[in-house]
Chain A
Amino acid sequence: MSDIIIIGAGVIGCSIARELSRYDAKVTVLEKANDVACGTSKANSGVVHGGFDAKPGTLKAKFNVAGNAMFDKLSKELDFPFRRNGAYVLCFDDDKWDGLKKLYDQGMENGVLDVKVVTGDEVRQREPYVSKEVKGALWCPSSGIVSPYEMTIAYAENAADNGVKFVFEKKVASVAQNGRKLRVVCEDGDCYDADVVVNCAGLYSDELNNSLCEKKYKIVPRKGEYMLLDKTAGYLTGTTLFQLPTAMGKGILVVPSVHGNILLGPTAVDIEDKDCKDTTYDGLAEAFEKACITVPSLTKKQVITQFTGLRAHADAGDFVIGWAEDKPMYNLVGIESPGLTAAPAIAVHAAKEISSRLSLKENPSFNPVRKGIPCFATMTEKERAEIIKKNPLYGRIVCRCEVVTEGEIVDSINRPVGAKDLDGVKRRTRAGMGRCQSGFCSERVMEIIARERGIDMTEVTKSGKGSEIIVGRVE
C-alpha cells in the first residue's frame, strides 16, 4: 500500500487528509504542535469569501469560488458551524466608486454572479450600526462565516475515522530523496519514508520545499491582530463588513462569528518571526480605530480577548499548488486568504492528483459523515433533559459563560484526534471562550483533563509543551 505523509495539520493538511482517506492508502499526518489547527487555521477572520476579491485567472480566484460552493453540503456532512451571512465591501468616499465597480467586474469575471452595488442607505437598512459616512457598498450574499478551527477539527476527526493516522509533536526538519521514495527527517531523529509527501506546512512550507527542491519559495509571515467582542455586542452586525481593500489585504473587518461574537481586525504587518503570536499595543489600537470607521459605536468595554494570526504570504502572490518539479512532493505553498474558503476545493483537487499519480483505488469503507460533540448550549429544554438522562455528565455545567458541560469536555478529550490541553478543549467545546475567559472553569477543566488522560495536574498544559499551568504542589 502506498505511503503518504502529510506535513502540517492545519485546515489544508486536514482537509487533504480527509479527501485522501477516500482512497486506499496509508496516510499519516505529522504535526509539530500537539493539536490540529494550531497555526494560521485557528487565528483568522473565519470568513468564507464570495470570490470577488481575487484576481481573475489566479488559483486564488478558481479555488475560492469552487470552495465557497462546497460549504453548505460539507458543513452538514462534517457537522461544523457555518452560515451564509452575506458581506458588504464598504465605500466611504464618493470618488472611490470605481473601486467598487472594479470588485463587481472581478466578481462577474470570477463567476460570483450574486454581487451587486448598493447605496449606503441600503446597507444601513440591513445593518443600522454601520457608519453614516458609508456612501455605497458591494453586496455579496454568498459570503459566509465559519469557525475555522472547528472546521479543521471536523476534517481531522473524519480523516481519523477513515484510517488516517495523526502524529503530534513531530516537527519535520527536512525532506530528502531516498531512492524512489522521499525520506522525511524529524527534529527528534525519527524518519518516515513515503511515496508521496504533501507539503501543508503553512508558514514553513517554503523551508520544507526548499530543503528538497531547486525552485525556492519564500513565505513572509504577515501578522494580523484581532479583538474579539462579547456576544452582547452581537447586535452590531450580522453581516461581514469589509472596507475597500488595500495592497496589504482586505483591510480591517467587523465580522460576526458563527457563535455570535464580533471580531475586529486584522491588521497587516509583514514580520520575520514565524512563531510570533504576540499582540502589540499599537496593533490593537489600529484594529480598534479602523473598525470604528465602519461601526462608530464600538466600545472597548465589549472586548473580551485579543489575538494574533499569521498569514503565510508567498512572494509570488498566488497559491502554489501542485507537484514540486519532478519530485513526489505535492506543494501547497502560500495558502493565505482566501485559503480557508478554498480549502475544500483545494483538498479535492490535490487528492485527485495524488491518487492518480499513485493509481490509488477507492476506499470502499469511506464514511463521509462525522458527528460533532452534542452542544448543550444550543439545545432545547427537551433535548437537554434527554441528554442528561443518557449521560449525567451533561448535567454538570463547567463553563458558565458558554454553558459547556462536563459531558462535552470529556467527549472532546476522548474522541479521535481529541483535545490534550486547555486550548484544545476550548476550541472543541468553547469552555473558557466566554466573557470571563476561563477565570472560573480553567481549574475544573484542568482536573477533567488530568483525570481523563491519566496525567498529573502539574502536567496539564495550556497549549502544548512548555505551557504547563502550575509549577508544583503547595508545601
Chain B
Amino acid sequence: MSKKNLIIIGGGPAGLAAAKSAYDAGERDILILEREDKLGGILNQCIHNGFGLHTFKEELTGPEYASRYIDQVKERGIEYKLGTTVLSIDKNKRVTCANEKDGLQIYEAKAIILACGCRERPRGAINIAGCRAAGIFSAGTAQKLINIDGYMPGKEVVILGSGDIGLIMARRMTFQGAKVKAVVELMPYSSGLNRNIVQCLNDFDIPLMFSHTVVEIKGKGRVSSVVIAQVDAKLNPIKGTEQEIKCDTLLLSVGLLPENELSKMADVNLSPVTGGAVVDDDMMTQTDGIFACGNVLHVHDLVDFVSEESEWAGKRAAAYIKGEKASGESVAIEAKDGVRYVVPQFVHREGEGNLKLKMRVGNVFKNVRLCVVCDGGEVYSKKCMIVTPGEMETITLNEKQTRALKNSKQAVVCLKAVEK
C-alpha cells in the first residue's frame, strides 16, 4: 500500500486539466491513472478539427488539443501510469489498480478526482429488434477503427441518432468513400451541435430524418438492410410508414452515459438526470474528498468546457488537501420549467467570487429567458433566441449575484417566456 495526496482517475482531457491545475495550486503529490497506453483519452481518435476555440482561440484537432495538455502535464513532471485500470475505489479513498508491469497496486489517497469520461449507449439499451449480425457499431467504436487502426467498418451506412459523434462519422466515412444513406433521429430535433449538422451532413447532402427510428435490422452474418419508420408524438413507430434501406453497416449515436461504475463503489451519490455525481461548487461529490469533472460528471459538447471545469476541480481538490475545504451549510439549486439539470447541484454559503452554472434544457425552446430565481426574486436573466437539448448552456453569476444565491433559501434555474 502506498500513499498519494491526489489520485486522478483518467488521463483524458478532464484528468489532464485537473492534474495541471492541482499542480499549479501547489499540489505536488499527484498520480494520474490511465487505462489506455497513451494519455489524451477519446481526443486521440477525434482527428477532425474544431477543438480549442474557447481555450486556445484557434482550431485544433483532437490530438493537437490533447497534446497541449499532455505537454503541460509532462513539463510539470506530474506522475502518470498508462495501461493501468482502476479496479475499485472506496469511500476511504483506497484505490486498487492493475497493470502489466507493476501488477496489482493499492493506494491510499487524500483526494480522488473522477475523470473517467463517458461511454456510448449500446444497441441493447434502445431495444431495436432484428438480427445480431456483424456491422452494428457504436459511432465511437467505428471512429476508433478508422482513425486509430485504419480499418473501414463498412461501405453503405445508416446512422441512428444525431449525436455529435454520429454526425462527425457521417462525414468521416463519406471522406473514406463510404455511402452514408441517412441519419435517422428519433426526436424532432438533433442532439448534436448545429455546426456539425451543417458541416457534416448538409455539406455532403446526407439526409437527416427527424422523428424516425430503426425498427428492424436485417441480415445473416452481416447486416444487409435496416427498416426505418416514422414515430408518433409518444415516439412509437407508426405502422405503414416503414421503409427498408439497404446497407451493410448501422452506426449508433444514441447518447452518451457518464461512466460511474467506480463512483458507485465509493457510495458517490449520483443524479438520475445527468447520470453523474451530485457535486457542490467545488466539484466535490457528496463523498468527502472525491471530486468529479468532465464527462463522468455530465456529458459536455465541447472539450473546452471540460478543461475549464476540470481545472476548477483540480484547484479545489488541491485546496481540499491543504485543509482549505469549504464547510458548513449549502444551498441546493433546483432545475425547473424546461431546464433538465444544473451542475453544480449545491453551492456552499460561505466563500466569495463568481459562480459558473452549467445546464441543459429538455426540449427546443425559442425566445426564452434563462433565469436564476432566488427566493422568488430574479437574480439573473439571459435572453436566448433558441435553446436546444443538444447544446449545453452556461451562466456566470458575478460576485453580487453569487452572494444573493448563497444567501437564499431556495434557488431555481428555469426558463421564462420573453414578454412582448
Contacts and interface: CB of A to CB of B under 8 A. Distances in A.
Interface in B270-296: none
Contact of B104 (A384, A458, A474, A475): A384
B299 to A, nearest CB: 15
Nearest to B151: A470
B146 interface: yes
B177 interface: yes
Nearest to B249: A471
B124 A437 contact: yes
A464 B221 contact: yes
B50 interface: no
B122 A474 contact: no
Given A281-B237, A397-B85, A474-B150, A439 B99 contact: no
A103 to B, nearest CB: 33
B176 interface: yes
B168 to A, nearest CB: 15
Contact of A443 (B103, B135, B144): B144
B152 A442 contact: no
A466 interface: yes
Contact of A304 (B103, B124, B132, B261): B124
B132 A472 contact: no
Contact of A475 (B103, B140, B177): B177
Contacts of B150: 473-474
The residue in A301, A443, A463 that gathers the most chain B C-beta atoms within 10 A of its C-beta is A443
Interface in A354-394: 381, 384-385, 388-389, 392-394
Contacts of B149: 443, 447, 457
A437 B176 contact: no
A90 B221 CA distance: 39
B15 to A, nearest CB: 16
Interface stretch (A72-80, A105-113, A271-279): A271-279
B179 interface: no
A395 B117 CA distance: 22
A101 interface: no
By DSSP majority rule, is chain B's interface helix, strand, loop, or mixed? mixed
Contact of B153 (A277, A278, A397, A469): A469
Interface in B122-140: 122-125, 127, 129-135, 138, 140
Interface string A265-305: 00000000001011111011000000000000000110111
Given A389-B103, A392-B100, A395-B99, A471 B154 contact: yes
B152 A470 contact: yes
A176 interface: no
B216 interface: yes
Contact of B119 (A278, A439, A442): A439
Contact of A388 (B96, B98, B141, B220): B98
A385 B124 contact: no
B221 A388 contact: no
A465 interface: yes
A277 B129 contact: no
B101 interface: yes
B122 A436 contact: yes
Interface in B70-101: 83, 85, 87, 96, 98-101
B215 interface: yes
Nearest to A466: B221
Given A470-B145, A473-B150, A437 B123 contact: yes
A323 interface: no
A291 B287 CA distance: 36
Interface in A385-439: 385, 388-389, 392-397, 400-401, 403, 435-439
The residue in A228, A303, A462, A474 that gathers the most chain B C-beta atoms within 10 A of its C-beta is A474
A461 B135 CA distance: 10
A397 B154 contact: no
Contacts of B83: 396
A471 B157 CA distance: 12
Contacts of A457: 149, 151
B384 to A, nearest CB: 31
A457 B221 CA distance: 17
B120 interface: yes
Nearest to B150: A474
Nearest to B119: A436
A306 interface: yes
Given A307-B132, A468-B222, A397 B124 contact: no
B87 A403 contact: yes
Contacts of B124: 228, 303-306, 437
Given A439-B119, A466-B222, A467-B221, A284 B103 contact: no
Contacts of A235: none
Given A392-B100, A437-B124, A462 B151 contact: no
Contacts of A458: 151
B316 interface: no
A310 to B, nearest CB: 14
A315 B127 CA distance: 33
Given A275-B220, A436-B119, A466-B221, A385 B103 contact: yes
Contacts of B176: 474-475
A275 B219 CA distance: 11
Contacts of B146: 474
Interface string B167-208: 000000000110000000000000000000000000000000
A110 to B, nearest CB: 36
Given A228-B124, A464-B221, A281 B87 contact: no
B158 to A, nearest CB: 15
B106 to A, nearest CB: 7
Contacts of A463: 132, 134, 221
B212 interface: no
Nearest to A458: B151
A97 B416 CA distance: 59
A395 B132 contact: no
Interface in A297-325: 300-301, 303-307
B369 interface: no
Nearest to A398: B85
A307 B151 CA distance: 28
B248 interface: yes
Interface string A132-148: 00000000000000000
B104 A381 contact: yes
B35 interface: yes
A397 B35 contact: yes
Contacts of A468: 134, 222
Interface string B22-43: 0000000000000100000000
The 4 closest A-B pairs by CB, nearest first: A466-B221, A305-B124, A437-B122, A397-B85
30 contacts: A227-B127, A277-B132, A278-B130, A278-B216, A278-B218, A300-B127, A306-B129, A384-B87, A396-B83, A396-B85, A397-B98, A400-B261, A437-B123, A439-B119, A439-B140, A440-B119, A442-B141, A447-B149, A457-B149, A463-B134, A465-B221, A466-B220, A466-B221, A468-B134, A469-B135, A469-B153, A470-B151, A471-B152, A471-B248, A475-B177
Interface of A: 227-228, 275, 277-281, 283-284, 300-301, 303-307, 381, 384-385, 388-389, 392-397, 400-401, 403, 435-440, 442-443, 447, 457-458, 461-475
Given A278-B216, A436-B120, 17 more contacts: A279-B129, A280-B129, A281-B129, A281-B216, A281-B237, A305-B123, A384-B104, A392-B100, A396-B85, A403-B87, A439-B140, A443-B144, A462-B134, A465-B221, A467-B222, A469-B153, A470-B152
